[in-house]
Amino acid sequence: MLYIGLMKKYFRKKEDVYDAVQEVGFLPFFPCGIPGLSIEEHTPSELWFTDDPGPWEWKGPVLRMGNCVYGKFFNNKAGFVSTKWFNDFANWRRDGYDFDARFNDNLASYDDQYLYNIISSRKSMLSYEAKGIGNYCKNGRKGFDTHITRLQMQCYVVISDFEYRQDKHGSDYGWGVGRYAVPENFLGKRFANHVYTRTPEESRDRILKFLQKEFPETDIRDLRRLLGNNH
């Protein structure tokens, strides 16, 4: 069972995180209410906030290895989802709506649409680029973090990479800057042509069946909370 195997693992390099994402399908960065199902719980304390690459720095390289996406998917907190399960996950979270249909049915705000249109009009963009184009600043638009988080929770936007600023010597410094994209642009046809193949409820039940099989000791209510709702 995946749960038993995962509980025995420690993440000491980016490949460990990548392998876990591919095995489990859903891997929050922080504890999510299911014991052991997070990067934080499997990473030794000595790897946090060191001069060597640790879990904060692994995120971009893991994404560049392919077959996964990253974003604030779990109760407004970040984590990975493998592309094997992301179509069903997004279908459930979107309740079967593409963004335009959601907006036309008055289920999305104008402010969410404004930011979504900025990101969807390009292949991808760094967070500060989106803020600049959208005029999210002290005397401009407000609420960037609220809107970008909601778009991620609904799986209309993902983080496709993390990039670092460089000093005059060409060395990375500071926190990684998220690069946002809509899944249709980041994942292409393998997502766009298949995300709505099932009903949202069929997608939810398919994921729950998998998780119940692999995490049999976990309360079904905790698994449902991991999947979240689509309203």
**Sheet (strand 77-82) strand order:** 26-28, 77-82, 68-74, 158-166, 172-181, 125-126
pLDDT higher than threshold 90 for residue 178: yes
Portion of the chain with pLDDT greater than 90, in percent: 79
Q: Lowest-confidence range among 26-35, 173-182, 195-204?
A: 173-182
Note the pLDDT of residue 82.
Answer: 98
User: If DSSP states are collapsed to H, E and C, what string results for 10-23?
Assistant: CCCCHHHHHHHHHH
Note the pLDDT of residue 16.
Answer: 94
Q: Could you report the per-residue pLDDT of 124-160, keeping only the tens digit for each?
A: 999 999 999 999 999 999 999 999 999 999 999 999 9
Domain that holds residue 173: 2-227
Domains in the chain, number: 1
pLDDT higher than threshold 50 for residue 11: yes
Note the pLDDT of residue 185.
Answer: 97
- Please, are residues 176 and 164 in contact by the beta-carbon 8 Å criterion? yes
Note the pLDDT of residue 1.
Answer: 46
Note the pLDDT of residue 160.
Answer: 96
pTM of the model: 0.93
Cα separations in angstroms, 103 against 52, 64, 220: 45, 32, 32
| Res. 173 pLDDT band, cuts 50 70 90 | low
Higher pLDDT, 113 or 54: 113
- Mean of pLDDT over the chain: 92
